[in-house]
Amino acid sequence: MRVCRGLFATLIGGSALALAGCAPSAPPPPPVVAPPAAFIPLGLSAAYVSGDVVSGRRARAAKMRAAGIRPLPPAEAAAYIAATDAELRRQTAGIGLDVLRLSDGILIRIPATLTFAQGSADVRPEFGATILEIARTVKERNRTYVDVFAHTDTTGAAPFNQTLSDRRAAAVAAALARHGVARARIASKGYGESAPLHNPDVTEEQRAANRRVEIRLVPYRSSDAPTTGARRKRS
């Protein structure tokens, strides 16, 4: 009887191992990387950081409304952003990016070491894992616009850098959408070499800091665009 029980346990254990071997593997975790020493304090005064959302609030709000995403009452926006900021910091701790508070939103700044190979707009596998960690929070905290910015360093021809940054921003936007962030929330824009953190960028560390991707979250407020009823009243 003891032999049978032992054989039964062995068979069950072997089946469990076989099933475990068939289970789909999880994506690799993002690498633990320290952000560049001078990364945090730079670039927050640049005009693009505090400017309007890509394509303008009225057009973006119309897409959000059509997708059934509820806007925030203006009085609740600050608390919503503060809670989103805290959740993002918990979700992305230790993976080498910066979560920075803006006057009206959040900027997630991702260094070149986690983004793209030189001259490429193909998302690296390790960058894909980083985007997944960001998307976990961004898709749940869905009452924000999501702007994706991409930048290059100042080496190379400016037209090439502009095109490359456009493609990189679009690639990150598409990756966020694949991970469940509503497409109606997302817009992307490349800045080429026009908004460097270091100018001039004479060292490799400075050039690497300039080659970055940023994801900006801005609260989607009920005051951003008039409702259909409001338009009728004015007509």
pLDDT at 10 over 90: no
pLDDT of residue 129: 87
Work out the angle at residue 188's Cα, subtended by the Cα atoms of residues 182 and 191, and round it to the nearest 5 degrees: 165
For the chain, give every domain's residue range. 33-234
Distance CA 10, CA 12 (A): 5
Instruction: Report whether 191 contacts 43 (CB < 8 A).
Output: no
Interior/surface letters 98-136, b for 16+ CB within 10 angstroms, e for the rest? bbbeeeebbbbbbbbbbbbeeeebebeebbbbbbbbbbb
pTM: 0.81
Give the residue-averaged pLDDT of 84-98: 92
pLDDT tens-digit map of 41-67: 677 888 999 999 999 999 999 999 999
- Name the superfamily (CATH) of residues 33-234: OmpA-like domain (3.30.1330.60)
